[in-house]
Chains A and B, each alone.
Chain A
Amino acid sequence: MKIRVQSETFDLGTEVDAMRAGRTDIGAIASFVGLARDLNEGSGVAAMTLEHYPGMTEKALAALVDEANSRWTLLDVSVIHRVGRLLPGDPIVLVAVASSHRGEAFAACEFIMDFLKTRAPFWKKEETPQGERWVEARTSDDAAAERWR
C-alpha cells in the first residue's frame, strides 16, 4: 500500500509499473486520475490551491484503503493526492488498485474515490476572474459515497 500527499506531480505509468514490478499474481489494475479543470460553476478557473490537514489526511486515506481491503480481495493500492497551487490540466489525485480480476479492482477504485471526496480533509480554493473562492462541497458527492453503504 502506498499513500502519499505531495506538492510534486506524479505519473500514472510510473506508479502502475512500480505496482506490478517483480510480481506475476496481478491480473488487473484499475486506476483513476483526477485533473484540475479550467471551468467550474460557470466561471473560468485560472488556478486552484489545495489545502489539507497534515496528519489527519494520511490517517483518513489509510482508513479508506483499509476499508477497501476489508470489502474486496486486493493485491495492492496506491493513493497519491497533491496539495498546493495547481494549474488547469494538472493531475490532482491518483488511485490505482491491483487485484486478481477486474471486478474487484474497478469496484475498489471507485469506492476509494467516492469516500476520498467526502472524508479526506482537503479543500480547494479557486482563482477566477471574479476573485478567489472556496469550492463548496457537492451533495452529489455525498450521494455517491452513500450508495456503498
Chain B
Amino acid sequence: MKLHVLYFARLRERFGRAEETLDFDASTAADLIAYLQSRGGVWAEELDGSRAFRVAVNQDIVALDAVLPDQAEVAIFPPVTGG
C-alpha cells in the first residue's frame, strides 16, 4: 500500500523533510511509527514515546491503533501551539 506521509514544525526540521511517499504494508498508525523509529537517529529520538507527538490520518487526529487506509495521507507533528 502507498502512504503519503507529512511532517510539520519541529519534526519537519529534525527529519529534514516535509513529506515522503512510502510503499509499505502497515495496518495501523503504530506500525508506521515503528517502521519510522527503526530508521534510528532523530527518528528514534522523536518517535520512541519520550517526546509527545500526534498522528492525523486523512486530516483527523487519531489514536495509534487507527487503521491506515491505502493511499492515506498521514501527518506526524508535535502537539499544537496555535492561538
B82 touches A120 (CB 8 A): yes
> When A51-B9, A137-B52 are in contact, do A123 and B77 touch as well, CB less than 8 Å?
yes
- Cβ of B40 within 8 Å of any chain A Cβ, yes or no, is no
B80 touches A122 (CB 8 A): yes
- Cβ of A72 within 8 Å of any chain B Cβ, yes or no, is no
A123 touches B59 (CB 8 A): no
Task: Give the number of chain A interface residues (Cβ < 8 Å).
Answer: 27
54-76 of chain B: CB within 8 A of chain A: 56, 59-61, 75
Instruction: Return chain B residues, CB-CB under 8 Å to A148.
Output: none
A53 touches B82 (CB 8 A): no
B80 touches A137 (CB 8 A): yes
Instruction: Return chain B residues, CB-CB under 8 Å to A136.
Output: 79, 81
Q: Which of A34, A56, A81, A125 has the most CB of B within 10 A?
A: A56
99-149 of chain A: CB within 8 A of chain B: 113, 116-125, 134-137
Residues of A within 8 A of B (CB): 34, 50-53, 55-56, 59-60, 81, 92-93, 113, 116-125, 134-137
